[in-house]
Amino acid sequence: MPKARKIIPGVDPKLLIKDAAKLLPDPSRRLFLRGATSLGAITLLTGCDIVDQDTAAKALLTISRFNDRVQALIFNPDKLAPTYPESAITRPFPFNGYYPEEDAPEVDGETYMLEVGGLVENKKPWTLEELYALPQEKQITRHVCVEGWSAIGSWTGTPLRDFLQRVGADLTAKYVWFQCAEGYSNTIDMPTALHPQTQMTFKFDNEILPRKYGFPMKIRIPTKLGFKNPKYVVGMHVMNQNLGGYWEDRGYNWFSGI
């Protein structure tokens, strides 16, 4: 129901505006005022301090949610990311994280267990040995960072799609949520999880994934920006609820498809 508006008693707002308009004598003056108003609007929209920071932030986040939906529509589940020859691999491949390389988590491969949960039939945790026994594929694709730079890397692992089928995941669920050893997290949409190039990665450049690239497991998603490719993954949950992620909760666009 529409809220009742506050009206000054005895004043008809329509008549008030008409009276105000009468005070402007010359039509060109009115036109000029209209022009001046749009100039004023320009300064209002520039994000300077004139606009309340919270209001601007909320509006920006609303548009970012709209951009999520647009990107989901643009996403073509059959469109493959371009692949490159071995010679195109960026060496050394950069380390990325919100912490320096020496602070990267050290996961013990002996005791490592991948927790699988949510809307899946088989919630049995996986040891690294069991994961390594899965059929693997190699891809040489471009990692595109949200900052703008890009680097080409070689990743080997098992397609996430095959793994989700293997554990009896509900493929009609909306999201897959990943938890990482250092507390990082990420939620991706199911169509991207089922993309043929979305991979549970165990090797970089034909070698066991080194610590700096996410030992023991990274989720490689060549159709998303780099920060949507979680490393040191220890948990995977199939869900209908979007649990966001480390950067997404700090304002990065959630879908972040490329």
Q: Identify which of residues 78 and 102 has a Cβ nearer to another protein in the complex.
A: 78
The span from the CA of 15 to the CA of 134, in Å, is: 77
> Quick count: other Cβ atoms within 10 Å of Cβ 154?
21
The smaller minimum CB distance to another protein, of residues 132 and 252, is found at 252
CB atoms within 10 A of CB 164: 23
Read off the tokens for 197.
């190039």
- Spatial distance between the Cα atoms of 193 and 223, rounded to a whole number of angstroms: 10
- In the set 5, 14, 91, 250, which binds another protein (CB under 8 A)? 250
> What is the rounded distance in angstroms from the CA atom of residue 96 to the CA atom of residue 93?
9
Of the candidate spans 10-18, 106-114, 142-150, 160-168, the one that interacts with another protein by CB under 8 A turns out to be 142-150
CB of 219 to another protein, least distance (A): 16
- Asked if residue 154 lies in contact with residue 202, where contact means CB atoms within 8 angstroms, the answer is no
Nearer to another protein, 119 or 146 (CB): 146
- Choice from 7, 11, 15, 42 touching another protein (CB under 8 A): 42
CB closer to another protein, 69 vs 123: 69
| Interaction between residue 45 and another protein (CB under 8 A) | yes
Residues in 211-230 at the binding interface with another protein, rule: CB under 8 A: 222-223
CB 120 within 8 A of CB 169: yes
* Binder among 79, 86, 99, 106 for another protein (CB under 8 A): 79
Residue 146 touching another protein (CB under 8 A): yes
Burial of 184 (0-12, 13-18, 19+ CB in 10 A): buried
Binding to another protein by residue 13, rule CB under 8 A?
A: no
For 128, the enclosing helix (H) or strand (E) is helix 128-132
- What's the rounded Cα separation, in Å, for the pair 173 and 184? 22
Q: Are 131 and 119 in contact (CB under 8 A)?
A: no
147 scored as a contact of another protein (CB under 8 A): yes
For another protein (CB under 8 A), the number of binding residues is: 43
Q: Return d(Cα 72, Cα 81) in angstroms, integer.
A: 16
In the range 149-168, which residues lie near another protein by CB under 8 A?
149-150
Q: Shortest distance, CB of residue 73 to another protein, whole angstroms?
A: 10
Contacts of 145 (CB under 8 A, 6+ apart): 96, 151, 225, 226, 227
Identify which of residues 46 and 165 has a Cβ nearer to another protein in the complex: 46
> Per CB under 8 A, does 89 bind another protein?
no
Strand partners, 117: 237
Mark the segment that binds another protein (CB under 8 A) among 11-19, 39-47, 121-129, 233-241. 39-47
The residues binding another protein (CB under 8 A) are: 28, 31-32, 35-36, 38-39, 41-42, 45-47, 53, 56-57, 59-61, 63-64, 67, 74-76, 79, 81-82, 142, 144-150, 222-223, 250-253, 257-258
